Amino acid sequence: MSDPQAVSLLAVLFSAAVTDNILLTRFLGMCPFLAVSRQMKSALGLGLAVTFVTTTTAGLNAALYNHVLRPLGLHVGLKLIVFIVVIAAFVQLMEMLIERVSLTLYYALGIFLPLITVNCAILGTSLFMVSKDYSVAHGVVFGFGSGLGWMVAIVLMAGIRERLKRAQVPAGLEGPGIALIITGIMALAFIGFSGMVQL
């Protein structure tokens, strides 16, 4: 395993956001991405929410993993359940926050707000982070980069879909259909990044 200390934080950020993009390279976090990317405003809102959650839960989980689970030898068995409970609790907190701050965003996100809990991108971020043996500092940066990459992808998609409103999409393809095709093309493009940053 590479020496994490020697790896620059910038490289971690870049690889998490671009070359190892959690959505277009690892294909995690698809459901809310397809459903909420119709409008730029909600896409941006959800992207920010997801970034906030990935950053903080990556930090929390890194701290728990490195300083509590590992020393106690419980890291293999309890890792999954501890991570997901931390994420669930945090998303619950955030739901209450959003409901108080912006009711329009709250209703625009609908079911996809509680679904952030099971957004595979967030759990995936924590799991990748421990598989790369990151410290808490690297973990936070990795979580931030990961969420940022997800947000960039959903914002890109929202931009494309808003322009598509003027295009003539066949009735059956409207909505998820055309979104899937666009995502497929974006994913193909991102294959070009593979292996660019070896961490």
Does residue 192 belong to the site contacting another protein (CB under 8 A)?
A: no
Near another protein by CB under 8 A: residue from 6, 72, 81, 167:
81
- With CB under 8 A as the contact rule, the residue among 5, 6, 71, 131 that binds another protein is 131
Q: 33 and 157 in contact (C-beta within 8 Å)?
A: yes
What is residue 69's DSSP assignment? I
Shortest distance (Å) from residue 8 CB to another protein: 19
The single residue among 21, 54, 61, 117 that binds another protein, judged by CB under 8 A, is 117
Select from 42-50, 59-67, 123-131, 139-147 the region that touches another protein (CB under 8 A): 123-131
Q: Which of 74, 104, 114, 196 binds another protein (CB under 8 A)?
A: 114
* Cα–Cα distance, 26 to 99 (Å, whole number): 31
Furthest CA-CA distance within the chain: 59
Q: How far is CA 103 from CA 8, 35, 89, 94, in A?
A: 40, 19, 21, 13
**What backbone torsions phi and psi does residue 8 show, to the nearest 5 degrees?**
-70, 145
Q: What is the rounded distance in angstroms from the CA atom of residue 182 to the CA atom of residue 37?
A: 12
**Site residues (CB under 8 A) for another protein?**
1, 27-32, 34-35, 80-81, 84-85, 87-89, 91-92, 95, 110-111, 114-115, 117-120, 123, 127-128, 131-132, 170-178, 180-181, 183-185, 187-188, 191, 194-195, 198
